[in-house]
Amino acid sequence: MIQHLRQLPLALCCAIAVMQAAPSNPRAVPNRAPLQKNKFNPLPLGAIEPRGWLRQQLEAQAHGLSGHLDEFWKDVGDNSGWLGGTGESWERGPYYLDGLLPLAYQLGDSALIAKAKRWVDWTLDHQRADGQIGPASNDDWWPRMVMLKVLTQYAEATADARVVPLMTRYFQYELGSLPKRPLRDWGRYRWHDNLYTVLWLYNRTGDRKLLELARMLHEQGYDWQAQFARFRYTAKTSKAVLSERRGGMPSDEAMQTHGVNNAMALKASPLWYLLTGRAEDRAALDRQLEQLDKYHGLPNGMFSGDEHLAGTDPSQGIELCAVVEEMFSLEQDFAVFGDALLADRLEKVTFNALPATLSNDMWSHQYDQQPNQIACTRARRQWSTNGDDSNMFGLQPNFGCCTANLHQGWPKFVSSLWMATDDEGLVVTAYAPNRLRTIAGGAGVEIEETTDYPFRDEVRFTLHLAKPAKFPLTLRIPSWTAGTTVKVNHQSKQLPAAGCVLPDGQSPATQHCAVDRAFYRIDRTWRNNDEVTIHFEAKPRVTHWFHNAATFERGPLVFALPLDAEWKEVKNYAQKSSDWELTPTKKWNYAVQLPPANAECGVSVAETPEGAVPFDQAHPRLTMQVSGRELDGWTMVQNSAGAVPVSPVSANGTTTPLKLVPYGAAKLRITSFPFVAEPASCASNSLRSQR
């Protein structure tokens, strides 16, 4: 009887929750013929709600710049051209909305929804008779590409019937206008962002004219595939090339080496593949990533771009806009191809490069972050072209694009945590705490995903259904895991190391393993309160980068030596928006000892209690201890850590323990270390992983 009483309110609450599922239509919209099918279909904005540490992160964002920027930064203030005013009328309003709008709906924050809706309403209410949208003061295609991305998210969250007709009329106008007024400069290099919303609309209306427009955008847009087929930007971009301007605009070389353009372009071939189905269009993405990794890859998951491709030295920077744009590209790429390595990469960028470049309270951000970042001060550094304040934390260091564009990072990651499969099932793209409400197997389903991943190694899914439903639930197995255990209602299944396609119930030993198809599929009839847990075995690992330098990683997290930054406020703008200089209070020039080969020692990992801020240097949720020795010859050059000496190096000082924290928590840090030839001793400092 007592049990009954306990269960009743739960069942009632969940049935109601399923009925109240947001958004109004929580189903994914599959691609319409003749487009290729996506491997996985994105779910509409609102289907996934952040929970746990991820909600803390989004709430910090709402209480920080994202929730207040319009109150004091005039570029997104009341006089914006995108609100009918005479102020900024180009990309900043749309950029801001592209993050503010999903943030508002995911938090269900009515004040933020009202802020965002005002902008959307202005665009919806002011379409010209010929179909054009946006401020009359310019006719640039580029900022409109961004506002269209905002409108698609708004339509998904609200089903507002005005969006589809407005977009239809706009694309008719664009199709008629492009022959006379073709894509140019930014729009020409970012045509795929336009293609993205054209395909979104085609899947909803089936209007064949949209496919004609898609082909025209491809024809007029820059050929990124050709750039990477014969990649000639294999070193830090030279200032001479970058200083040229043509007709007031950056030169073609400047556009082609532009970090943000390259991050956005990571979705060009996958989206174009949907029209062609050609193997070359699929292979082009791998080639693009491989070349960027090889010549410009950084240990935080990104490539360098400060403002242009800058080689693999970890003292080079990467712009915040490029971080959030690469995330959005990878989210689309994973939907199209379903390659698990793309989602591994997405997690690496999201859990490292994104939090590292934002302050804990989300009131300040950098323009450029460096993996080896020993001071964030106004000073001349070795950037390809950026200014002296580029790595300071502030309102608009270097330039205001990131101030407007940073907001989309976390919310779009939330939107992509789950996707739908063609057989009415669901797949986990990336792991983080959330609640999903959607339709699967023909029934309303709510899945509570409880976890402190990436700081912990276990994820629990609890399913709530008003009635039993049969559908496949597919879990992504990250490539780094040394072993995986899945439990369905407490019954264990041991999986081998990553990379194996394992239909439920089949023996791992007989399966073909391939790292690009690492999924575990559970196809069964699900009942209310069914529970699935997945446990990964994340072992510390060492990866090698510029000059053979060593970086410590574990699971999707990169670890760095924090330099205990002292924050000095140099200017306050309004509210809590200030510019800050960060200087180190600790030595940074150490060479590390690597763990001995084939031994699980030399590095120890400790779980620490949760603080209020997920990526906080004062309360890191996970720490790693390694050992190192001071390396006097490694000094500061041009206000950054000098080039990492080629490893192995000799350093004869005393061996000291070094406590590393997640990269995203260490605002000043060393991430890529030289190492000494002699490996760490297993006996010296309690080196086994602590749980």
| List of residues contacting Zn ion (CB under 5 A) | 319, 321, 401-402
Nearest distance from C-beta of residue 78 to Zn ion, angstroms: 23
Nearest distance from C-beta of residue 264 to Zn ion, angstroms: 11
Q: How far apart are CA 428 and CA 343, in angstroms?
A: 10
Nearest distance from C-beta of residue 331 to Zn ion, angstroms: 19
Q: How far apart are CA 233 and CA 258, in angstroms?
A: 11
Nearest distance from C-beta of residue 320 to Zn ion, angstroms: 6
Residues 688, 620 contacting (CB under 8 angstroms)? no
If the CB atoms of residues 102 and 400 are measured against Zn ion, the closer one turns out to be 400
The continuous run of DSSP H or E covering 273 comes out as: helix 268-276
H runs (alpha helix) in 397-471: 401-405, 409-415
Q: How far apart are CA 460 and CA 14, in angstroms?
A: 17
Nearest distance from C-beta of residue 365 to Zn ion, angstroms: 9
Nearest distance from C-beta of residue 66 to Zn ion, angstroms: 15
Burial of 460 (0-12, 13-18, 19+ CB in 10 A): middle
Q: How far apart are CA 440 and CA 449, in angstroms?
A: 16
If the CB atoms of residues 401 and 661 are measured against Zn ion, the closer one turns out to be 401
Helix-strand-coil split of the chain, %, nearest 5: 35, 20, 40
Residues 617, 665 contacting (CB under 8 angstroms)? yes
What tokens does 508 get?
Answer: 């791992």
* Number of neighbours of residue 230 by Cβ within 10 angstroms: 6
What tokens does 223 get?
Answer: 């050929």
Nearest distance from C-beta of residue 397 to Zn ion, angstroms: 10
What are all long-range contacts of 487-490, with beta carbons under 8 Å and residues at least 24 apart?
487/531, 487/532, 487/533, 487/534, 487/535, 488/522, 488/524, 488/530, 488/531, 488/532, 489/530, 489/531, 489/532, 490/531
Residues 6+ apart with CB under 8 A from 38: 30, 31, 274, 335, 336, 338
The continuous run of DSSP H or E covering 73 comes out as: none
Q: How far apart are CA 330 and CA 263, in angstroms?
A: 9
Residues 6+ apart with CB under 8 A from 110: none
Nearest distance from C-beta of residue 324 to Zn ion, angstroms: 9
If the CB atoms of residues 52 and 411 are measured against Zn ion, the closer one turns out to be 411
Q: How far apart are CA 25 and CA 46, in angstroms?
A: 10
Any idea which residue has 């929730």 for tokens?
A: 67
Burial of 470 (0-12, 13-18, 19+ CB in 10 A): middle
Residues 645, 634 contacting (CB under 8 angstroms)? yes
If the CB atoms of residues 369 and 373 are measured against Zn ion, the closer one turns out to be 369
If the CB atoms of residues 134 and 409 are measured against Zn ion, the closer one turns out to be 409
Nearest distance from C-beta of residue 96 to Zn ion, angstroms: 12
If the CB atoms of residues 216 and 402 are measured against Zn ion, the closer one turns out to be 402
Nearest distance from C-beta of residue 506 to Zn ion, angstroms: 47
Q: How far apart are CA 321 and CA 305, in angstroms?
A: 10
Nearest distance from C-beta of residue 401 to Zn ion, angstroms: 3
If the CB atoms of residues 103 and 321 are measured against Zn ion, the closer one turns out to be 321
What tokens does 27 get?
Answer: 């189903």
If the CB atoms of residues 91 and 347 are measured against Zn ion, the closer one turns out to be 91
First to last CA, the chain: 40
If the CB atoms of residues 91 and 319 are measured against Zn ion, the closer one turns out to be 319
Strands (E), 507-585: 519-526, 531-536, 541-544, 550-554, 557-562, 566-574, 577-583
Nearest distance from C-beta of residue 367 to Zn ion, angstroms: 6
| Residue nearest to Zn ion according to CB distances in the complex | 321
If the CB atoms of residues 131 and 400 are measured against Zn ion, the closer one turns out to be 400
Q: How far apart are CA 81 and CA 35, in angstroms?
A: 36
If the CB atoms of residues 261 and 617 are measured against Zn ion, the closer one turns out to be 261
- Exposure string over 118-150, b if 16+ CB within 10 A, otherwise e: ebbebbbeebeeebbbbbeeeebbbbbbbbbbb
Nearest distance from C-beta of residue 557 to Zn ion, angstroms: 25
Nearest distance from C-beta of residue 614 to Zn ion, angstroms: 23
Helix/strand number for the chain, H first, E second: 21, 29
Q: How far apart are CA 532 and CA 493, in angstroms?
A: 11
Nearest distance from C-beta of residue 402 to Zn ion, angstroms: 3
662 to each of 326, 558, 621, how far by Cα in Å? 21, 6, 8
Nearest distance from C-beta of residue 399 to Zn ion, angstroms: 6
* Number of neighbours of residue 36 by Cβ within 10 angstroms: 16
Nearest distance from C-beta of residue 260 to Zn ion, angstroms: 6
Cα 656 from chain centre: 35
If the CB atoms of residues 398 and 593 are measured against Zn ion, the closer one turns out to be 398
If the CB atoms of residues 264 and 661 are measured against Zn ion, the closer one turns out to be 264
461 to each of 155, 332, 431, 436, 449, how far by Cα in Å? 29, 24, 11, 10, 5
